[in-house]
Amino acid sequence: MQTQSDVKVFGFWVYLMTDLILFCVLFATYIVLCNNTFSGPSARQLFSMQEALTETLLLLVSSFTCSLGMLAVYRKRKVPALLWFLITFCLGVAFLVVELTEFSHFLAAGAGWTRSAFLSAFFTLVGTHGLHISVGLIWMLVALVHIGLRPFTAPSISRIFRMALFWHFLDLVWVFIFTVVYGMGHLQ
């Protein structure tokens, strides 16, 4: 017999698949347009592999700490859950700071999203991911408050699980962004 939490988790998987389709379309658009620089800067000229690697490490470590937070939730241990999700939150904020710093460097160099098709596709793909990270951080903040103020129940654990699932999904999307956008862009 399915519980209401099971139905919500299934529905969330359906949502993640629609989000996956969105990102697939954005990746396809980027791949088609990545060489259309309109005599502007190319990926190789703009991208810093050090910044991209820093962003990648921040998200990969945040995925690990998020998993530790979920283990604490399943064991119904509030303090470790709060600690691990707070660390995850801080790593997510650090990721956004590095990403926004990268964007500001591009804009200062005259490489805004209207400069070329390549930059439009780049800012749309990476910016959409950054927007999702922002939503994930807000959700995590709400989860932190709930963990701190309320007891662990099956519905609350299910909500926290869906938040963690969303976070892991965003980390997976970033691995593809790092590989396709930054890795391939560095080779151009």
CA angle, residues 93, 43, 51, in degrees to nearest 5: 30
Amino acid identity for residue 26 in this structure: L
In terms of Cα–Cα distance, which of 47, 8, 76 is closest to 181?
47
Locate the domains of the chain by residue range.
Answer: 4-34+49-183
Q: Under CATH, domain 4-34+49-183 is a member of which superfamily? A: Cytochrome c oxidase, subunit III, four-helix bundle (1.20.120.80)
Distance, in Å, from the CA atom of 35 to the CA atom of 38, rounded to the nearest integer, reads 9
Tell me the H-state helices in the chain: 4-33, 43-46, 49-74, 78-108, 117-149, 154-177, 184-187
Q: Write the pLDDT tens digit of every residue in 62-92.
A: 999 999 999 999 999 999 999 999 999 999 9
CB atoms inside a 10 Å sphere around CB 136: 23
- Residues (pLDDT < 70) of the chain are 1-2
Residue whose structure tokens are 């005599």: 39
- The string over 85-108, giving b where at least 16 C-beta atoms fall within 10 Å of a residue's C-beta and e elsewhere, is bbbbbebbbbbeebbeebbeebee
In terms of Cα–Cα distance, which of 150, 180, 185 is closest to 23?
180
CA distances for 137 relative to 31, 116, 144, 163, angstroms:
28, 31, 10, 9
Q: Which two tokens stand for residue 61?
A: 């470590």
**pLDDT at 147 (0 to 100):** 97
**pLDDT at 1 (0 to 100):** 61
